[in-house]
Amino acid sequence: MSTTIKSNKKAITAKTSEAKTATKVAATHTAIPEGTPDKIERSLIDFSPLNYRKYYSEQALQEFASELLIHGIIHPLTVRVVTPGRFELVSGERRLRAAAIAGLETVPVIIKELTDEQVNEIQLAENLQRENPHPMNDAQGIGQMLASGKKVKEISLRLGKSEQFVHNRIKLLSLIEPVRDMFVAGVFTIQDALEIAAISEASQQDFFENNCAGWQSNPHFKINNFRWALNKYKCDLTGASFDTTDETLIAGMGACSGCRFNSATLTELFPELAKTQTCTNRQCFEQKCLAGLQRSLQAGWEQQPEALIFNYDPSDDVMALLEAAEGALQLPQFFKNQVDVWNRPQEPKREEFLDFSTADDEDIEERNDYEAGTETEDNDSPAYDEEAYQDALLEYRADTDEFDTMLLNGNLRKGLYLNREQISIIYFTERTSQSGNGYSQGTEKVTAKAVKEAEKEGSVSVELYDGEIERLRAREQRAKEIDAEKFQLDLHSLFVEQNSQEINCAPTTADLTAVKLMLYQSLGYSQKKGMDEFLGITCPTYHAEYHQELYEALLNLPEHAYTYLIRLALQGRADAKLPKTPEGFFLLPVSAGAGVDVDSLKNRYAEKARERESKRDTKIFEVEKKKELLRVKKELVLEETAKQG
């Protein structure tokens, strides 16, 4: 009991003493002119609620406190009087915190009379003038100045910093708290932080949860392939898979071009973003991507593709769209590395062939303007390399001829090409050892234009000339093949036209030989191989002389060999094994003519039929007897019932 009373007395005495000291200090400092250096007790100083700086390194504070024990505080703190007997810290919070750790009882101060706005500016200016202020602290101070109504230009002038500096610090304010902690701890560079700040808060949270778990417990924490991990959360409108100007893509969402979530519309606050188009509303962006895919799939499906071509394993969204398109998943499927894509050749532009050997500065400038899309009308005609242009034009026409012929022949198939971001129609052939329509030197295509430019630049090589020779030879060979294909198409058209005019026509030797060819073509592989041996054909099927040798062999086919060919063709038809087909019906007389004992076979099956019929008749007789017996029994029962009734 007495102990408690003594303790309370001591506490009361201590409080009274502290109050007297505070009153004495306050009275003393009231008389000190503003701005005069002085020392006051550390315990009388309160931290400023206006100080934006929230992040301090504990290790750095410990090291600073150790230094203060040796040298003391060299630069006074700045304080102001807010309530009698107490002081509010204006600048020097790091020094005050280190002094508390070091156990210093008094600290040097300068007392000033300041408004809240002046305090904000002093705190920010002091932080910016430090040797290595942290960008996050700069951002918080600039944020307070913005909140007070100041514009970026005014803040820039007051701080003596560029407007770009101010803009970058403002962007850091978009960071969520966990990412700010990592930035201050040095996990992220300022460039990393700015890139993270460019995505929405929801995306930042996803990025943090998926990539930054446990970072505080790992002193060497690092995100492997940071850019790749972050890019998944960036919604780049410049490469979007949908039309960003379409106001009807999703009802109620409007176009991206004027949307407040488009970074390009934030030009007043972030003028450097005027050239970028990044959507910060990830949910809306993903919905539009899906709607764009659905629209492009519908447009592609209307062109009746023959196959599906995948660039990667299709996403769940793409698979769901394909499942909704009736019959899509029944089409043949390929990966892009399994096919050769054929694009319609692009006609060369004469402006691309400026002759640098004779061009002056104005010519070169005109070409640069043309390539940049800023060309102006000019009466002067620049010098062009007409020979190189004509060569490129001939090459373009040959490529176009080849493309159109392959398309007409049905050699090119139409595929629905699906990658993660777009769906489109392409023309393709299945990949073979020789692919595409280019001629390569290493991995680069050799063109007439490339050779001409290399000659002018003096960089031509023996290998390049070898590639050009290969290109010219291959080009001529392919031209001959195209001529042959076109000749065949024209011949077929004329033949169809001629045949439609004559209904009654006498068969020619060639007609009868064509019949033999169709019989020959109907044979299976092993039958055809046996027939080749019988005919004495030795030329391989892929050889150029094979067709001529086959024609002559069928033309001069002996009658017995012709008969053999007919019978081979008939026996190879699966329908010949069925009785209710034309082939099955024809098999009977052909077999009889071939010497098959058809009568004996018929008799055998007729005897089997008679035996079955005899057994059937016996069984029917027995059943009839049983049926008659049952009928008699029923009549007796009915008579007995009638008598009893």
Percent of the chain scoring above 70 in pLDDT: 81
**Going edge to edge, which strands form the sheet with 339-342?**
333-335, 307-310, 413-418, 423-430, 339-342
Tokens of 238: 């410049």
The domain spans of the chain are 1-114, 303-437, 509-596
Contact 51, 89 (CB under 8 A): yes
pLDDT in tens, 603-636: 998 999 999 899 999 999 999 999 999 999 988 8
> Can you tell me the distance from the alpha carbon of 366 to that of 356, in angstroms, rounded to the nearest whole number?
12
pLDDT in tens, 385-409: 777 788 778 778 888 888 888 888 7
> Can you tell me the distance from the alpha carbon of 399 to that of 98, in angstroms, rounded to the nearest whole number?
78
Q: Following DSSP, what letter does each residue of 91-121 receive, concatenated?
A: E-HHHHHHHHHHT-SEEEEEE----HHHHHH
Identify the weakest region by mean pLDDT among 253-267, 565-579, 580-594.
253-267
> Can you tell me the distance from the alpha carbon of 233 to that of 203, in angstroms, rounded to the nearest whole number?
6
* Residue that has been written with the tokens 């998943």 in this structure: 329
Q: Would you state the pLDDT for residue 362?
A: 53
pLDDT in tens, 529-544: 888 888 888 887 767 7
How far, in Å, are 92, 351, 392, 454 from residue 359 at the CA level? Answer: 67, 12, 20, 17
Q: Is the pTM of this model over 0.75?
A: no
Contacts of 35 (CB under 8 A, 6+ apart): 110, 111, 112
How far, in Å, are 149, 195, 201, 272 from residue 166 at the CA level? Answer: 15, 16, 21, 12
> Can you tell me the distance from the alpha carbon of 180 to that of 186, in angstroms, rounded to the nearest whole number?
10
CA–centroid distance for 187 within its chain: 29
Residue 527 sits at φ, ψ, to 5 deg, of: -65, -40
pLDDT in tens, 81-117: 888 888 888 888 888 888 988 888 889 988 888 888 7
> Which pLDDT band, with edges at 50, 70 and 90, does 456 fall under?
confident
Over residues 348-368, mean pLDDT: 61
> Which residues does residue 79 pair with via DSSP β-bridges, in sequence order?
89, 111
Best CA proximity match to 370, nearest among 351, 384, 355: 351
**Residue 188 per-residue DSSP state:** S
Over residues 285-312, mean pLDDT: 85
> Which pLDDT band, with edges at 50, 70 and 90, does 5 fall under?
very low
**Residue 132 per-residue DSSP state:** S
Over residues 419-431, mean pLDDT: 82
Over residues 490-518, mean pLDDT: 80
Q: Would you state the pLDDT for residue 620?
A: 92
Length reported for the chain: 645
Q: Would you state the pLDDT for residue 365?
A: 55
Amino acid at 348: P
Q: Would you state the pLDDT for residue 439?
A: 37
* Residue that has been written with the tokens 């071939």 in this structure: 594
> What is the pLDDT of the chain when averaged over all its residues?
78
How far, in Å, are 167, 335, 351, 362, 363 from residue 368 at the CA level? Answer: 34, 39, 10, 10, 9
302 versus 260: the higher-pLDDT residue is: 302
> Can you tell me the distance from the alpha carbon of 295 to that of 308, in angstroms, rounded to the nearest whole number?
17
> Which residues does residue 309 pair with via DSSP β-bridges, in sequence order?
334, 417
* Residue that has been written with the tokens 């305090």 in this structure: 119
Which overall architecture, per CATH, does domain 1-114 show?
Answer: Alpha-Beta Complex (3.90)
Q: Would you state the pLDDT for residue 127?
A: 63
* Residue that has been written with the tokens 């109504």 in this structure: 149
Contact 353, 395 (CB under 8 A): no
How far, in Å, are 326, 422, 496 from residue 302 at the CA level? Answer: 12, 16, 31
Q: Would you state the pLDDT for residue 312?
A: 73
Amino acid at 324: A
Over residues 220-238, mean pLDDT: 79
Residue 159 has pLDDT above 80, yes or no: no
> Can you tell me the distance from the alpha carbon of 257 to that of 247, in angstroms, rounded to the nearest whole number?
9
Residue 412 has pLDDT above 50, yes or no: yes
> Can you tell me the distance from the alpha carbon of 321 to that of 251, in angstroms, rounded to the nearest whole number?
20
Contacts of 356 (CB under 8 A, 6+ apart): 364, 456
> Can you tell me the distance from the alpha carbon of 32 to that of 30, in angstroms, rounded to the nearest whole number?
6
Residue 74 has pLDDT above 50, yes or no: yes
